[in-house]
Chain A
Amino acid sequence: MKDVLRIECSRRNLQQVRDFVRSFLASRALPELLVNQVVLAIDEVVANFIIHANGEDERQHIDLQLVVENHDLNVEIADHGSTIFLPGPHLAPDLSEYIRQGRKGGTGMALVNRLMDRVEFFTRDHHTVCHLSKHLV
């Protein structure tokens, strides 16, 4: 089973991304908690692509591909912008310190790394690509 979605780089399109992922997974009768975790991980990476890699430039696009084989979900998120976005290794964020500092960001990729089995960022033809995978059981 495979499906693809292309969106413009606007954070307004995050709802469309989440609806697409939920719809893709709907036929598999998965627990709501698991579906929400997958939706969240993809939403976080796409938001990073939109905001950090493409500066919310709506002339740019992001391509999302979802594939399920057996019980394994493989996700590819790819952009076409010239800014390479390769997040470093994510240590566990010190949330007490974030609260003390009144810090808004810095938890998204930590969530992604805890939610998915595999998280990989790399470049292809001078663009950023992210692969995520999770065993859906």
Chain B
Amino acid sequence: MKVNAQPSADSLLLTLDGELDASSAVLLDTELNKPELLNFRKVLVDCAKLSYISSAGLGVFISHLQRLQDNNVKLVFFNMQEKVFNVFEILGLDSLMTIVPTQDAALAV
């Protein structure tokens, strides 16, 4: 699992590559814990190369969402593979998190 963070003017682009499970979730948690995250208006999560997510990966996003919202930082997922979206959907997280099809749509949120 690789997590790449690329800052721009008002947003942080997080690119996830690989399988997000109970072993690799700590990498993502470390990234989302960084205080400078709260300086951005948006955190855009590119899921094109995210091929698997377990509850541990979901848990990282769930655990940071309120803190981001409280600081007016939007968390937006895009390019999500169907099998990964299905996991969000099974738990009903697709209605609690912002998931859009493309990067253009994510930038427009």
Contacts and interface: CB of A to CB of B under 8 A. Distances in A.
B98 to A, nearest CB: 13
Interface in A9-58: 11-12, 14-15, 18, 32-33, 36-37, 39-40, 43-44, 47, 50-51
Interface stretch (A103-111, A118-126, A128-136): A103-111
A88 interface: no
B87 A111 contact: yes
Interface of A is mostly: helix
**How many B residues touch the partner, as a band?**
20 to 34
Contacts of B56: 47, 104, 108
Contacts, number: 85
A47 B22 contact: yes
Interface in B22-65: 22-23, 52, 54-56, 58-60, 62-65
B86 A15 contact: no
A102 interface: yes
Contacts of A36: 52, 83, 86-87
A99 B96 contact: yes
| The 5 A-B residue pairs with the shortest CB-CB distance in the complex, in nearest-first order | A108-B55, A104-B59, A36-B83, A11-B23, A47-B22
Given A33-B86, A107-B59, A108-B56, 8 more contacts: A15-B21, A15-B23, A32-B82, A44-B55, A50-B22, A93-B91, A95-B96, A108-B55
29 contacts: A14-B23, A15-B21, A15-B23, A32-B83, A33-B83, A36-B52, A36-B86, A40-B52, A47-B22, A50-B22, A95-B62, A95-B91, A95-B92, A95-B93, A98-B62, A99-B66, A100-B66, A102-B63, A102-B65, A103-B62, A103-B63, A104-B62, A104-B63, A105-B59, A107-B59, A107-B62, A111-B55, A111-B90, A115-B90
